């Protein structure tokens, strides 16, 4: 089942600002929260959907990737830690709404950076043989001047507001509420002088350049995980991962089916009738196919171990070549005369004997019309 567009999920335009996104998410989350809809699986699914949508669209880097690649950019984990997609930023905007009413609140401890998805297009030859590619992608990286701490002088202190817990608790009527500490933003540590480059966030936007090694035998849809190459996390937390998804471009000759390759081999009428030896391409050079006399279009010839050695298998697949009898074009006068003389020999019983498929077709048509008119 395909995912809905994230902007549609939240009911906002594609140019919506941060505040509009936040309000839309709150409305959606409050409407579908499982504690307000006990036992309603549809509401639970909608709740998860709006959280996932907000997590992507509220983050500048993720939003750019989504606008460029759609859902393919985040198929393998947008959220940090073990919470799964859509849960990493729950405490940032949701805890102040529900807090302990629904047993929520921000998760304790550092939250890892977001994972990044990247789609890499390869030629068939590159996918089969393996290749090393340099890629560029926008990401959040640790601020170099402050080493990712957010502090201008590198000095960190235990937050005096939350006493290092990263959360504060307060009472509203009969309810006990908790939310991320407003002073340290859930880090548990604070500093007096914020870094001027990252303004205390510990992260900056940059274009990251990586060299990615693609193993031999990958296929369309395969994904490669580069641990720690995702977005930098908040100060004191590990970075996310990078997932590279392989997309193999259509090939002008071969089609891949698992470990096997398929192609069509055009042959002349004379070659099909008399037999011949033709040379065909493979990924490792040329090979020969012996065409027997009276070969018909559609006959398949198998070349063992001329296919692909998949990244998941030990053996090598086969190459299947389908013969296609090609009608000659741009005939000379001499060639046309020879063909007319040849065609004149197909008369009476000789035509049936030399063209069995054509005779069977004609007989079938006659029988069809007789049944229709009887």
Cα–Cα distance measured from residue 314 to residue 239, given in angstroms and rounded to the nearest whole number: 35
Enumerate the domain spans of the chain.
1-106, 109-156+191-250, 251-327, 334-374
pLDDT range class, residue 101, cuts 50, 70, 90: very low
Q: How many C-beta atoms surround the C-beta of residue 350 within 10 A?
A: 10
* Terminal CA-CA length for the chain: 51
Look at residues 249, 227, 247 and name the one whose alpha carbon lies nearest to residue 238. Answer: 227
344-371: average pLDDT: 68
User: What is the 8-class DSSP label of residue 296?
Assistant: P
Tokens coding 372: 């229709």
Tokens coding 304: 């063992």
User: What is the 8-class DSSP label of residue 192?
Assistant: S
Write the class of the CATH domain 251-327.
mainly beta
Q: How many C-beta atoms surround the C-beta of residue 279 within 10 A?
A: 10
- The DSSP line for 93-156 is HTHHHHGGGGT--PPSS--PPPPEEEEEEE-HHHHHH-EEEEEEEEEEEE-TTTTTS-BSSS--
**According to the CATH classification, is domain 109-156+191-250 in 2.60.15.10?**
no
> Is residue 84 pLDDT above 60, yes or no?
no
- Per CATH, 109-156+191-250 and 251-327 having the same topology is answered yes
Q: What is the fold of 1-106?
A: Helix Hairpins (1.10.287)
The reported pTM is: 0.58
> Is residue 99 pLDDT above 70, yes or no?
no
pLDDT (0 to 100) of residue 94: 42
pLDDT (0 to 100) of residue 90: 38
Tokens coding 181: 């500490």
The 10s digit of each residue's pLDDT in 120-178 is 999 999 999 999 999 998 888 888 888 888 788 877 788 878 877 778 877 666 666 77
Coil, strand or helix at 373: helix
């Amino acid at each position: 089942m395909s995912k809905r567009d994230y902007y549609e999920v939240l009911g906002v335009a594609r140019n919506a600002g941060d505040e509009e996104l936040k309000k839309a998410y709150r409305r959606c989350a409050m409407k579908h929260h499982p504690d307000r809809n006990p036992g309603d699986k549809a509401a639970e699914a909608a709740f998860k959907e709006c959280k996932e949508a907000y997590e992507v669209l509220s983050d500048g880097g993720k939003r750019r990737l989504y606008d460029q690649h759609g859902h393919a950019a985040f198929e393998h984990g947008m959220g940090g830690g073990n919470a799964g997609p859509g849960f990493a930023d729950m405490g940032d905007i949701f805890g102040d709404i529900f807090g302990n009413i629904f047993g929520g609140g921000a998760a304790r401890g550092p939250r890892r950076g977001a994972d990044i998805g990247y789609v890499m297009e390869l030629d068939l030859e590159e996918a089969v043989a393996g290749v090393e590619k340099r890629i560029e992608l926008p990401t959040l990286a640790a601020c170099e001047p402050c080493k990712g701490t957010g502090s201008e002088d590198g000095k960190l202190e235990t937050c005096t507001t939350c006493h290092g817990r990263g959360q504060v608790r307060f009472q509203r009527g009969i309810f006990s509420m908790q939310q991320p500490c407003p002073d340290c933003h859930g880090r548990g540590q604070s500093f007096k002088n914020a870094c001027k480059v990252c303004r205390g966030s510990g992260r900056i936007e940059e274009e990251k350049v990586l060299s990615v090694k693609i193993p031999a035998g990958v296929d369309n849809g395969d994904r490669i995980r580069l641990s720690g190459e995702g977005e930098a996390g908040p100060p004191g937390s590990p970075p996310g991962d990078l997932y590279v998804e392989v997309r193999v471009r259509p090939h002008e000759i071969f089609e891949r089916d698992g470990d096997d390759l398929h192609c069509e081999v055009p042959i002349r009428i004379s070659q099909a009738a008399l037999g011949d030896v033709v040379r065909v391409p493979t990924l490792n050079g040329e090979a020969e196919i012996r065409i027997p006399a009276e070969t018909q279009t559609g006959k398949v010839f198998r070349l063992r171990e001329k296919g692909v050695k998949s990244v998941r298998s030990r053996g090598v697949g086969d190459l299947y070549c389908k013969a296609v009898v090609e009608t000659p074009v741009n005939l000379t006068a001499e060639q046309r005369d020879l063909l007319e003389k040849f065609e004149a020999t197909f008369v009476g019983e000789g035509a049936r004997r030399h063209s069995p498929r054509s005779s069977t077709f004609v007989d079938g048509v006659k029988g069809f019309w007789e049944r229709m008119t009887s």
